[in-house]
Amino acid sequence: MITLEFAIAASCQNVIPLFQPIPIVPKIADQPPMFTCSPELTNYSPFNIDYLFVGNTMTYNSIVGKLSGIITRLSDSTPVENAIITIINDQGQTFITGSDTNGLYSCDSIESGIYLLTVNKEGFNPVADSITIAGNDTLIRDFALTAPTMVINPLEITEIVQIEEFFTRVITVQNTGDGALNWNASIIGPGKDKITIPKGDGNFPCGAAAPSIGRAPLTSHVAGTREIQLKGRSLGYAFEIPGNTFFSFNTDDPSTQNFINTIDYSPSGGTFDAVNTGFMYIIDCNENLFMRVSTCTGDVTIIGSCNPYYGQTWTGITVDKATNKMYGISSDLSESYIYTINMETGEATVIAATGIPGAIDVAIDENGQMYSFDIVNDEAYKIDKDTGASTLLGSIGFDANYAQGMGWDPEQDIVYLAAYNNDGSGGELRILDRVTGNTNLIGGFPDGEQIDALAFSGTGLAWLSMNPYHGVIPAGNSQNIAIYLNATILEHGTYTKSITFNSEPNVGTDTVPVTFTVFPEDGPTLTISEVYSHTPLASITVHASNITNMGSFQFTIDYDPTKAIFSGISDWYPGITDVTIGNPSAGKLTFVWAASTGGITINDGDFFTLHLTATDFPPWDYCDICWSDNPTPREFADWNGNIFTPFYDDGFIYWFVGVPEDKLQPIHIYPNPASDDVQLKVTTPSGTLKYCHSPVKPFTMKIHAMSVKLS
């Protein structure tokens, strides 16, 4: 039975119309919705009603239609099974069906009107269309779904450089499919937690309190259940809001606080800069004061006033550790603004509005990407820190409310939330997935206390970075991604990370391991020369330096067998004899040696000379000559058997006819102002050679006995 609620005056003298059409979804399949409408009075006093007239009982039948079609692949017209077809109208009335093994779908008893239709299937690009359902009619809509592919090249990066060098490689993301590919990438370090939290559906327990950026009411809490166990831990700093207590804690155990001091301010945001670890910055949301706090004593130093945009309240501050530039964020629960903040004076400069209603804090990771989360709609965003433009990531998976904190941990490369869960759990430490926007619970703060101004020290300078970190590639296209390897901030050693590429729609994930070996400038070095040869036989010197007490070695050298033929080895450094040299296959040379009487020291000299002959002279081409581990891996040891790793520098041969450019003597060009002739004074016999005046304008110079005429 359907009850229509209405109000009756104290003296009911008018006829009150009761019936209004109400859309009803049928409970019985293949039958139209139908109901009988009759009035019913509740909560009334008979003393206030003289009489009640009931009449015009009506029966209502809705006008319905049908929808059907077939879902196929665009590439080969084969059926797509288990595609989800959803239609929804402006009133929120929703119908959902799926495709069968033949790709067929149908949906009956749909009330007539205009609907938004969507087709979704994992691995395929989603489809959206507007449709009109007519009464007593069947609408047929067929869809051919597109699907991208994601091909990553190369699938491994290995580089050896010297300290103070900066190196750039390129990874290509290729989409050979017939639909657009939306890709994103993340860099994961060894021993660190790879944060992968499935996208949230927005369904989670919620409290009754309306969104607020202030203090939470004092009440008891029931801690939630841990959802993730960290591999490592870091030291974080934060403030407990009820008592303004400054403390530190380990991220794997947020329930244990290390008390530092209490302060007389209300911090609504906190951060470290990229240099100092002895103090952090905080901002007071009540007094709009910008301050430093000693991490040792908790002593506060006021820097100056820091005022947000009119009507706004500060909710967070952060520093881009790569540039040491500070940013702030404020909100009034309808719009949020980002700012730059002068760390010397506290002066704030508005950048732009973000479109996020209740951004409660902000964090920037090692890639310079800014993140925030919203307590109005419980969603996470990434923000362009230059323009303020925000991009929705997804649901954060809990009912966020009241003031709370956010910070990026450089040591573990994790974005943490000092969250306040409105479902009764109170203060919690959570981890943010920077791809899906969802979060996982690590544990509750003591007694569910409300925590703010979460911050982590550390420079966050990255030896591995990339640009861009995400993109959209149309069907049949590719995109080059710059990979930056920075040895200027590293000491001697070998460093490893990996780059994980994700796809949307989901067509797979690829992980590219990156190995980066850094050598000191005065460390052991082996260099294959760069040789320019104008004869078929080329001699390539392999130079050695800073080699001490060498007792054995083995290695492989690769060359292109289509361009060169191995002709021999000569001129080993004095004391190196009886080297076993192999040529197991074309383009591969192997070397194995062990000292018999004592170690060899090469401070700076020629290791040996390699001879190669051009297969087709003159090829006008390069032949790369490279150190290799296949089939004989590189290994050097001293006389006592201690392994050491030299810095390996590859070389090449360039075959050509004539004298290499770097061997030419300076010449003078004298243009004739009365003509287009350019004369060069040379002593070369007659002949013809190619001369390139610029990369796009070739010329031919005809050599005569004492001059060259430009033609």
Domain count of the fold of the chain? 6
Domain end position, chosen among 636, 655, 674: 655
| pLDDT tens profile 411-466 | 888 999 999 999 988 999 999 999 899 999 999 999 899 999 999 998 766 788 88
| pLDDT tens profile 622-662 | 899 999 999 999 999 999 999 998 888 899 998 876 544 44
Give the CATH number for residue 490: 2.60.40
Distances (CA, A) of 209 to 302, 312, 375, 389, 395: 34, 21, 12, 29, 19
Which band of pLDDT confidence, cut at 50, 70 and 90, is reported for residue 672? low
Structure tokens that stand for 656 in this block: 């050509």
Q: Are the C-beta atoms of 273 and 457 separated by less than 8 Å? A: no
465 assigned to some structural domain: no
Supply the DSSP string of 629-666, one letter for each residue: -SSS--EEEETT--EE-PEEE-EEEEE-SS--GGGPPP
460 assigned to some structural domain: no
Is 50 exceeded by the pLDDT of residue 45? no
Are 515 and 573 in the same domain?
Answer: no
619 assigned to some structural domain: yes
464 assigned to some structural domain: no
Which band of pLDDT confidence, cut at 50, 70 and 90, is reported for residue 580? very high
52 assigned to some structural domain: yes
- Using DSSP's 3-state secondary structure scheme, residue 526 falls into strand
For 426-445, b/e burial (b = at least 16 CB within 10 A) is bbbbbbbbbbbbbbbbbbbb
Percent helix, strand, coil in the chain, to 5, is 0, 50, 50
The domain containing residue 499 runs over which residues? 151-180+474-519
Mean pLDDT taken over the chain: 84
| pLDDT tens profile 292-311 | 999 999 999 999 999 999 99
- What confidence score (pLDDT) does residue 193 get? 59
**How far apart, in whole angstroms, are the C-alpha atoms of residue 167 and residue 159?**
9
Cβ neighbours, 10 Å, residue 73: 17
Cβ neighbours, 10 Å, residue 271: 32
| pLDDT tens profile 180-208 | 999 988 887 775 656 789 999 899 999 98
Are 364 and 265 in the same domain?
Answer: yes
Are 421 and 478 in the same domain?
Answer: no
- What confidence score (pLDDT) does residue 567 get? 95
Are 548 and 641 in the same domain?
Answer: yes
Which band of pLDDT confidence, cut at 50, 70 and 90, is reported for residue 534? confident
Which band of pLDDT confidence, cut at 50, 70 and 90, is reported for residue 359? very high
| pLDDT tens profile 231-290 | 677 899 999 987 789 999 999 899 999 999 998 888 999 999 988 888 999 999 889 999
- What confidence score (pLDDT) does residue 222 get? 81
Are 166 and 124 in the same domain?
Answer: no
Give the CATH number for residue 649: 2.60.40.680
Are 482 and 603 in the same domain?
Answer: no
| pLDDT tens profile 538-554 | 999 999 999 999 999 99
**How far apart, in whole angstroms, are the C-alpha atoms of residue 582 and residue 631?**
10
Are 272 and 312 in the same domain?
Answer: yes
Which band of pLDDT confidence, cut at 50, 70 and 90, is reported for residue 12? very low
Which residues have CB under 8 Å from 708's CB, separation 6+?
678, 679, 680, 682, 701, 702
The position carrying tokens 């590639």 is 473
Are 316 and 354 in the same domain?
Answer: yes
Are 419 and 286 in the same domain?
Answer: yes
Are 297 and 427 in the same domain?
Answer: yes
- Using DSSP's 3-state secondary structure scheme, residue 144 falls into strand
The distance from CA 535 to its chain's CA centroid, rounded to whole angstroms, is: 50
Pick the closest to residue 606 from 523, 539, 517, 534 (CA basis). Answer: 539
Q: Of 321 and 371, which is predicted with more confidence? A: 371
Which band of pLDDT confidence, cut at 50, 70 and 90, is reported for residue 44? very low
